[in-house]
Amino acid sequence: MGRVVVDVMPKPEILDPQGKAVASALPRLGFHGFTGMRQGKRFELEVEGPVTDEVLEQVRQAAATLLSNPVIEDVVRVAPAEDHDGATA
Amino acid sequence: MTGPGPRAAGQGALESARIGVVTFPGTLDDRDAARAVRLAGGTAVPLWHADADLHQVDAVVLPGGFSYGDYLRAGAISRFAPVMGGVVDAARGGMPVLGICNGFQILAETHLLPGAMIKNDHRAFLCREQVLAVQNVDTAWTRDFAQGERITIPLKNQDGQFVADEHTLDELEAEGRVVFRYEGWNPNGSRRDIAGICNADGNVVGLMPHPEHAVEKGFGPDGPQGPRTGTDGLRFFTSVLSTLVRRSAA
């Protein structure tokens, strides 16, 4: 079974209220020195067989049409999952 | 209670105007929207997200709520519901479409309207009676307002911050497509105080505040005649009925 990872981030020029809220909690917990935080989304898509170029192309299209809104977000990665991506299956 | 409305235009013509109200899983305000249509004198037609048939409606309201739980992004999954194919085609053909709150988010996701809504800049859900300045009375949904008029209708959302790139914002302003602006205080950080916009033809309008909650005395925001007397929202619905009656007479 193959897995494809898609990472989506808010565009740099768009204010990220969630990232800001999370960042404001850091100093309260004693984590200092962080000057910013942005929160994105990670999707993991599973397929029966191996991750072929055709599968990747389909995922790229899905990422552009459904998984992200190009007005406010960028798709920053579409790639086959690797071991360090935390595969569990 | 009838209230002021375009009744002089002929009750029969109004009642024959069929306004579809779409219900998605997680929609909250479909019943209020249908009630607003009836109070304005029209016929409300329930439309179901999974049914691609628009049932010969003359206009469509996409009401507020949290369709599909706002999963992924507000309006992102609803955009691909079977009913939306017909709504998008009809809107491109000139049918009046109003998106309220979540409905506005859906219209942005379909790209019938530009821009997008992100979380409020103060990051909290907000519910208040909101004053708006009416900026364009030439749309299908605002012809019963006066240019520059101040109206008060409820606002209630968490993802209400309208954003678009500067070029798009300049274009909206230049073409007079900013239909409503927040007045007095910007409640969510929306660019240029924008509360509602329309497409180039003025038949598709989207806004974050809720006109359908200000259509009947006793249940709306405070108004000039006293607490809960505000019915400014009713004129969205009388406007579209006037639009449809004029079109059928033409």
**Per-residue pLDDT reduced to its tens digit, B203-217:** 999 999 999 999 999
Nearest CA-CA partner of A34 in A21, A44, A24: A24
Nearest CA-CA partner of B77 in B69, B87, B86, B88: B69
Q: Which residues pair with A47 in a beta bridge?
A: A2
Sign of torsion, CA B104 B106 B111 B116? positive
Over 70: is that where the pLDDT of B2 sits?
no
Distance from chain centroid for Cα B58: 15
B165 contact residues in A (CB cutoff 8 A): 13, 71
Section B232-247 average pLDDT = 96
| Average of per-residue pLDDT values in chain B | 94
Give me the residue from B116, B121, B161 closest to A71, CB to CB.
Answer: B116
Contact B72 A66 (CB under 8 A): yes
* Structure confidence at residue B3 (pLDDT): 45
- Per-residue pLDDT tens digits for B14-53: 888 999 999 999 999 999 999 999 999 999 999 999 999 9
So where are chain A's domains? 2-85
**B126 in Cβ contact with B188 (< 8 Å):** yes
Over 50: is that where the pLDDT of B1 sits?
no
List of residues 6+ apart from B207 with CB closer than 8 A: B99, B100, B101, B104, B132, B179, B180, B195, B196, B197
Is B212 among the catalytic positions? yes
* Structure confidence at residue B13 (pLDDT): 79
Q: Look at strands A73-80 and B43-48 and give their pairing.
A: unpaired
* Structure confidence at residue B8 (pLDDT): 47
Contact B118 A20 (CB under 8 A): no
Give the fold, CATH level 3, of A2-85: Mth169; Chain: A , (3.30.1280)
Q: Look at strands B194-198 and B178-182 and give their pairing.
A: antiparallel
- Per-residue pLDDT tens digits for B131-172: 999 999 999 999 999 999 999 999 999 999 999 999 999 999
So where are chain B's domains? 9-249
* Lookup result for tokens 């072929």: A52
Q: Give the C-alpha separation, B126 to B248, whole Å.
A: 40
Tell me the shortest Cα–Cα distance from A68 to chain B, in angstroms: 8
Per the document, the length of chain B is: 250
Tell me the shortest Cα–Cα distance from B245 to chain A, in angstroms: 37
Report A:1-30 residues touching B (Cβ under 8 A).
10, 13-15, 17-18, 20-21
Superfamily of domain B9-249: Class I glutamine amidotransferase (GATase) domain (3.40.50.880)
Give me the residue from B114, B118, B120 closest to A14, CB to CB.
Answer: B118
Contact B163 A18 (CB under 8 A): no
* DSSP H helix total and E strand total for chain A: 2, 3
Give me the residue from A10, A15, A69 closest to B76, CB to CB.
Answer: A69
Q: Give the C-alpha separation, B75 to B91, whole Å.
A: 17
Sign of torsion, CA B137 B97 B183 A10? negative
Probe site for chain A from B70, B72, B161 (most A CB atoms < 10 A):
B72
Section B69-75 average pLDDT = 91
Contact A20 B123 (CB under 8 A): yes
Give the count of Cβ contacts less than 8 A between chain A and B: 38
Query: How would you write the pLDDT of chain A (89 residues) with one tens digit per residue?
Result: 899 999 999 999 888 888 988 999 999 999 999 999 999 999 999 999 999 999 999 999 999 999 999 999 999 999 999 766 654 54
B126 touching A, CB under 8 A?
no
- Other Cβ atoms less than 10 A from the Cβ of A46: the count is 11
Tell me the shortest Cα–Cα distance from B233 to chain A, in angstroms: 30
**B74 in Cβ contact with B38 (< 8 Å):** no
Tell me the shortest Cα–Cα distance from B121 to chain A, in angstroms: 6
- Other Cβ atoms less than 10 A from the Cβ of B61: the count is 30
